[in-house]
Amino acid sequence: MVGCAKHLRPEDVRRYKHLGLTLKDGELLLPSPAVPPPSSGRYSRANVEGKDVVRRDLPMIDKTFSWETPNYGDWSKGSHTSYVTRKVYQRDFIRPKEVELSITLIERRADGFLIKFAVEQVLNRRSPDFAKELIYNLNILQENVGAVDVFPSAATLAQYAQTIRVDWEILPPGTVDEILRQMLAGKRPIAPDKRELMEKRLKLFARLKPEAYIAGTSGFLRYFGAKFGEDFVVFENLNYGNAIYVMYENWATLSQRSRVDLLKGPRDGFERIEHRKGWEDRLRALLEEYRKRKRSRA
């Protein structure tokens, strides 16, 4: 099934009003599963209205068009039907699927709500149309929710929640090979290029002499990082490797928020350093400034 989990603060709920999600007196009101509005995007429109597909791969055919014309240009003298025939491409009409979107409360949190959004259609991997149906449903969810993921049809709410909740394992310093092996143990395999990137980042962290390394404990190794103090932690995201995040006092809380939530909110408690020329120097400068402050307070 196509679905996703999102953490919504109370002020975020209004962005999903088009799906019937509302907040009243601090309580979240959940709608019944429903077809999302066609105004959400072209896939949502096709889901309701269907779609014409122009078959440019087939021979053109004759099509006759007709319209009413006034006699001698004067409607008072009556009218007649005019005809014209021309070549046109053949078309297929794709009927509307009318798939529904469901919204489920996973849990209430102190700072908001953890919500499951899902397209209510179970897809069969062995179906010849699987890839096409998957792309269709992914686009429906993206247009209406702004996030996508894929889950087994029997996935529990806890499994949905795991995709945004990050629990951390603190690893003591060691060689890069040892740390890499510990971080990957029990995780799903990662692509060779991501493993190479991860090793490269760990070598940089090692040169900066962290007091510990950090890795996510879920089945997916989305985040990993290095801890240089209780209020200075550097995180890397393998799926979105264009920047690192330096987090301060509230790093344990901030790290549970999605990348999108971090970027759209106030930049309090963290800094984002894009992987552009000189980014390593910027990280070293921040770390040196932090260590000087610590020495001055000692």
Quickly list DSSP for 74-97: -GGG-EEEEEEEEEE-EEEEE---
Question: Are residues 140 and 29 part of one domain?
Answer: yes
Q: What are phi and psi of 52, to 5 degrees?
A: -90, 130
**Opening angle at CA 139, ends 53 and 90, nearest 5:** 0
Question: Are residues 257 and 136 part of one domain?
Answer: no
Final residue in a domain of this structure, among 145, 162, 179: 162
Question: Are residues 196 and 270 part of one domain?
Answer: yes
Query: Can you give the pLDDT at residue 219?
Result: 42
- Single out the residue of 176, 242, 180, 165 nearest to residue 208, CA to CA: 176
Query: Can you give the pLDDT at residue 259?
Result: 54
Q: How far apart are CA 149 and CA 138, in angstroms?
A: 8
Q: Encoding tokens for residue 276? A: 């552009």
Query: Can you give the pLDDT at residue 224?
Result: 85
Query: Can you give the pLDDT at residue 88?
Result: 87
Below-50 pLDDT ranges, the chain? 219-220
Question: Are residues 229 and 175 part of one domain?
Answer: yes
Asked if 248 and 232 count as a contact pair (C-beta separation under 8 A), the reply is yes
Provide CB contacts within 8 A for 118, sequence distance 6+: 1, 2, 3, 4, 101, 102, 104, 141, 151
Domain count, the chain: 3
Query: Can you give the pLDDT at residue 163?
Result: 73
Question: Are residues 15 and 133 part of one domain?
Answer: yes
Query: Can you give the pLDDT at residue 246?
Result: 87
Question: Are residues 109 and 152 part of one domain?
Answer: yes
Asked if 46 and 148 count as a contact pair (C-beta separation under 8 A), the reply is no
DSSP string, 192-238: HHHHHHHHHHHHHHHHT--SEEEEE-SSS--EEEEEEETTEEEEEES
Question: Are residues 150 and 34 part of one domain?
Answer: yes
Query: Can you give the pLDDT at residue 135?
Result: 94
Question: Are residues 155 and 27 part of one domain?
Answer: yes
Q: Provide the residue range defining the domain that includes 88.
A: 51-94
Express as a percent the part of the chain with pLDDT over 70. 87
Provide CB contacts within 8 A for 131, sequence distance 6+: none
Question: Are residues 30 and 120 part of one domain?
Answer: yes
Question: Are residues 284 and 197 part of one domain?
Answer: yes
Final residue in a domain of this structure, among 141, 162, 183: 162
Q: Which amino acid is located at 165 in the chain? A: R
Query: Can you give the pLDDT at residue 220?
Result: 43
Inter-residue long-range contacts of 16-20, CB under 8 Å, 24+ positions, other chains counted: 16/103, 16/145, 18/144, 19/101, 19/103, 19/144, 19/145, 20/103
Question: Are residues 202 and 148 part of one domain?
Answer: no
Final residue in a domain of this structure, among 147, 162, 177: 162
- Single out the residue of 297, 298, 296, 290 nearest to residue 211, CA to CA: 290
Question: Are residues 288 and 270 part of one domain?
Answer: yes
